[in-house]
Amino acid sequence: MKKQSKPTKKSVAVVEWSNGGGKALRTVAYEALRQQIQALDLEPGFVTSDSELARRLGMSRTPVREALTLLERDFLVTRIPNHGVRIREITTDEIVHILNMREALDGMAAHLAATRIDDKVLDHFQRAFEEAAAQDGGIQPKQHARLSQELHSTIIVATGNPFLQSTSQTLRGIFERSRQHGWRTWNRTADARSISDNRYAEHLAIIAALRRRDPEAAEAAARVHVTNGLRDILKALLS
């Protein structure tokens, strides 16, 4: 078992800021822990307890226990009888299943958003990606991952389909965790720069198809982006 980590000022600060918005403590704990799991501050395979997590967040155990129920629903943690809770590790099979689901949802979202998304929004992302790529050393992995997540989330919202949005929101935790896992995995390989360049070109292709108001091209570009990402992750893992 991995050792439990000590409480950090960073994680407590997240809770204090969120609680100022009047949210229920269960929601505050859920959002804070989900963020830490997605950011890999709580790493896959890490074993802890509700009391340790409560200390980490600076709150009582009750809202943390309730938050853990939600995180278990999101496939982010697993309860271990008489031992606490484990941050779920992502298996290769799960990566395939998750990205298969992402391909379907992101493809459909791009298809629906093509006739609805605002040109100003596309201008914003076009400029953000190009400015990031123009930096010395090219676009940085964390910045690239953040822009990618923001673009895909914006496309989901632009669909105007509440059921697609709800499904995406339900799977958001595991989607984002797999995304971060993928970026971290291939960023450690010798092909990291070329893979980053490919992801950059794919994002611009999605934006271009949306700008042309071409649903079929937008869906195809979104699907290619996800399938190429899956190929690169599997290649990195197998090597």
Q: What is the pLDDT of residues 78-98, one digit of tens each?
A: 999 887 999 998 888 988 999
Whole-prediction pTM value?
A: 0.76
In order, the DSSP letters of 144-206 are HHHHHHHHHHHHHHHT--HHHHHHHHHTHHHHHHHHHHHHHHHHTSTTHHHHHHHHHHHHHHH
Q: What is the pLDDT of residue 83?
A: 79
Higher pLDDT, 66 or 171: 66
Q: What is the pLDDT of residues 30-79, one digit of tens each?
A: 999 988 988 778 888 999 999 999 999 999 999 999 999 999 988 889 99
Full set of structural domains in the chain with CATH: 9-87 (1.10.10.10), 92-238 (1.20.120.530)
If pLDDT is split at 50, 70 and 90, which confidence band does 22 have? low
Q: What is the pLDDT of residue 21?
A: 53
